[in-house]
Chains A and B, each alone.
Chain A
Amino acid sequence: MNRLLSVNGLRVSVGEAEILRGLDLEVNAGEVHAIMGPNGSGKSTLAHVLAGRDGYDVTAGSVTYRGEDLLELAPEERAWRGLFLGFQYPVEIPGVNNVALLKAALNARKKYQGEPEVDSIEFLKRVREKAGLMEMDDSFLQRAVNEGFSGGEKKRNEIFQMALLEPELAILDETDSGLDIDALKIVANGVNRMRNDQRAFILVTHYQRLLDYIQPDFVHVLARGQVVKTGDKGLALDLEAQGYDWVLDKAANQ
């Protein structure tokens, strides 16, 4: 079993408020984990802390990624090691060309891996191929990063970037929110196509809808900063049918 990520007893605060209160999570290569939970349960905080965003104080616990202490690494160092965050709200960067960013990102990772940079022709070939899969046309690629993109276009762009960067661990933070059903299918196909035994996914989501298209191996319910229940795909369906309250009540009664 190839362990990618171990989160042990993670406690995280933002200012005065403690958001994660002793969270545990194990992710192996080849697995797809769905993290569900009501608003404010700490789902996005987990995603941001794993990617290294500033503004979060880790007060206790550890995060190990492929044997290394993840929390010691700068955001870009995590990216070089194959960790990808699909943003809930992808950022607009005026004037910075989408493809130029990707090329710089891909080559930064190649450099870390000691591999030669991809040449322009090869790079463009890959870009076209992945963009085609995401049903993105060329004009889309030549625009500035996320600038003037619709909500759905931004999310598709995130998956496109993921496809090109080929991470080992992809964390998709509410990638399904704001998508119509067609866009949702495109995004889900993008993810499914990338599933293999070397790669793992963490899908952070509020709704079960995405899981109709991406079959998770595990479903975790996050509440008040902890994983309160873990199950298989069936758990997501139960949550869909009955809401979160019964899980929370049960957890509270334990």
Chain B
Amino acid sequence: MSQPDQLQHPQGEQSNKDMRALVEREYKHGFFTEIESDTVPPGLNEDVIRMISEKKGEPDFLLQWRLKAYRYWQTLKTPDWAKLNLTPIDYQSISYYSAPKRRTDGPKSLDEVDPKLLETYEKLGIPLHERAALAGVAVDAVFDSVSVTTTFKDKLADAGVIFSSFSEAAREHPELVEQYLGTVVPYRDNFFAALNSAVFTDGSFVYIPKGVRCPMELSTYFRINEAKTGQFERTLIVADEGSHVSYLEGCTAPMRDENQLHAAVVELVALRDAQIKYSTVQNWYPGDEEGRGGIYNFVTKRGDCREDNAKISWTQVEAGSAITWKYPSCVLRGANTVGEFYSVAVTNNLQQADTGTKMIHIGPNSRSTIVSKGISAGRAQQSYRGLVKMMPSAAQARNYTQCDSLLMGNQCGAHTFPYMEIKNASAIVEHEATTSKIGDDQLFYCRQRGLSEEDAVNMIVNGFCKEVFRELPMEFAVEAQNLLNVSLEGAVG
């Protein structure tokens, strides 16, 4: 995430000077924190899973669920249909649990948290002391396999909102976890979802009670630190009837030559009249210019508009990772439900991204909007892959999809694979896609007005992405723009 002082600027007021400074900057989150950690040896078997569950003091139902997932996962083969080129992953060479060592069972307050950890988040621009923290944003900080701390818990508790690490929720609110876990993304869903279900270590849990408008933005910050570990977090957000919540997710990792695996699952449940807005700024280490290292980011994100009038909105800015494989989706089950997907994906150098969404319309009068903006530079390959499905019950359902790709340089690729399956005769589906490069005439126009070529490119690219950026919470919009400029560094020429 970003420096707090940058967050003070209102959207669009970023000066050129700042922009130039940012363009000249490299991946700035690539440092490693020297901290003694409790890391299990690499390898995966049922004992490792039992050990993870035991370390976290989980109820038995959760252990049994993990084991079922593990047994199922063993029957699966790695999917190969996405348009990706990757070295096969050796699942036995990954360590499935790594946590910073601590003296007691867990920090009772921030004073007990290792100062090195606090410093790490400080450096990442996420101060965890509440007095220094971003006003109006509660943060759950996840470091490798565990949650370090969650800020503003008391203030949220006053409103009845539960916001905690997943492990804590499994201990404190097992009935809620048991009721909703795996109901949106079952462990049989896909290869990586099954793996995650077996070995997930931490993540965030959110429950917004009936009629409550969450008083602040909720945010989780994921950090991979240890080498040879994978991060398998699991996030579950339940918005009860008539409630509202906006949730942000950010992620970074140190620069390393080997690839690291991140296989997360996010489940959202929106009940009658509830609204969930989920925003991601993904900035995992993308690897170097030659494609060495970087995170393999294989994520299953799905929201279930389970009852009438529910709304789920996904906004993502995908700038990092060597490989991204991610399709935040909506199951529009209730009547009049709304699903949205706004995405900016940037790939440079040898990055590969295969991302998009699925909108499954089941309820009558359900509506969905998809806006996807892809920017491909260097030797990167990027694909939009999406499915819009109108089930026979989805009378009067509507979908509108707009997918645009911008190419920078003649060695990259941009691909669009939309699937539309329509089984209802009153449904309307519209899809449009374009692919082009930045127009020479646009560049010349901006330069004639006095902008440097680089500033002109940044301005045009940000304009290209504007429909998505304006869906981001204000605090993140400027950061997202900056991230875009950094990611495209060296792409003009």
Check A53–B464 contact: CB distance below 8 A: no
A91 touches which of B13, B445, B452, B464 (Cβ 8 Å): B445
Question: Would you call B455 an interface residue if the criterion is a C-beta within 8 Å of the partner chain's C-beta atoms?
Answer: yes
CB neighbours of B444 from chain A (8 A): 51, 53-54, 75, 91
Check A76–B463 contact: CB distance below 8 A: no
Check B447–A75 contact: CB distance below 8 A: yes
CB neighbours of A161 from chain B (8 A): 449
Q: Which residues of B contact A (CB under 8 A)?
A: 12-13, 15-16, 439-442, 444-453, 455-456, 459-460, 462-467
Sample of 9 further A-B pairs with CB below 8 A, known A91-B442, A101-B449: A74-B453, A91-B441, A94-B463, A96-B459, A96-B466, A97-B12, A108-B16, A108-B451, A108-B455
Question: Would you call A207 an interface residue if the criterion is a C-beta within 8 Å of the partner chain's C-beta atoms?
Answer: no
- Smallest Cβ-Cβ distance to B452: which chain A residue: A76
Q: List 16 A-B contacts (CB under 8 A).
A: A52-B447, A79-B447, A85-B448, A87-B445, A92-B442, A94-B464, A95-B462, A95-B466, A96-B460, A97-B463, A100-B12, A101-B451, A105-B450, A108-B452, A144-B466, A165-B449
- Smallest Cβ-Cβ distance to B19: which chain A residue: A104
Report the bound CA distance from A73 to B336 in whole Å.
58
Check A93–B446 contact: CB distance below 8 A: yes
Check B451–A105 contact: CB distance below 8 A: yes
| A-B interface, 9 closest residue pairs, ranked by CB to CB distance from nearest | A95-B463, A96-B463, A95-B466, A79-B450, A75-B447, A105-B449, A108-B450, A91-B445, A105-B450
Report the bound CA distance from A161 to B451 in whole Å.
14
The smallest C-beta distance from A81 to any residue of chain B, in angstroms, reads 10
Please count how many residues in chain A sit with their CB below 8 Å of the partner chain's CB atoms.
Answer: 37
The smallest C-beta distance from B286 to any residue of chain A, in angstroms, reads 25
Within 8 A of B (CB), among A41-67: 51-54
Check A100–B459 contact: CB distance below 8 A: yes
CB neighbours of A52 from chain B (8 A): 447-448
Q: Mark A76-94, 1 if CB is under 8 A from B, else 0.
A: 1011100011010011111
Report the bound CA distance from A84 to B450 in whole Å.
9
CB neighbours of B448 from chain A (8 A): 51-52, 75-76, 78-79, 84-85, 87
Report the bound CA distance from A96 to B445 in whole Å.
12
Majority SS at the chain B contact face: helix
CB neighbours of A91 from chain B (8 A): 439, 441-442, 444-445
The smallest C-beta distance from A47 to any residue of chain B, in angstroms, reads 11
Q: Which residues of A contact B (CB under 8 A)?
A: 51-54, 74-76, 78-80, 84-85, 87, 90-97, 100-102, 104-109, 112, 117, 120, 144-145, 161, 165
Check A104–B462 contact: CB distance below 8 A: no
CB neighbours of A106 from chain B (8 A): 450
CB neighbours of B452 from chain A (8 A): 76, 108
The smallest C-beta distance from B435 to any residue of chain A, in angstroms, reads 15
Check A54–B447 contact: CB distance below 8 A: no
CB neighbours of A100 from chain B (8 A): 12, 459
A93 touches which of B16, B442, B453 (Cβ 8 Å): B442
CB neighbours of B464 from chain A (8 A): 94-95
Report the bound CA distance from A103 to B191 in whole Å.
50
Report the bound CA distance from A145 to B460 in whole Å.
10
CB neighbours of A96 from chain B (8 A): 459-460, 462-463, 466
- Smallest Cβ-Cβ distance to A80: which chain B residue: B450
CB neighbours of B12 from chain A (8 A): 97, 100
CB neighbours of A102 from chain B (8 A): 449
The smallest C-beta distance from B214 to any residue of chain A, in angstroms, reads 30
Check B463–A109 contact: CB distance below 8 A: no
The smallest C-beta distance from B123 to any residue of chain A, in angstroms, reads 30
- Smallest Cβ-Cβ distance to B455: which chain A residue: A104
Report the bound CA distance from A246 to B451 in whole Å.
44
Check B463–A144 contact: CB distance below 8 A: yes
Check A104–B459 contact: CB distance below 8 A: yes
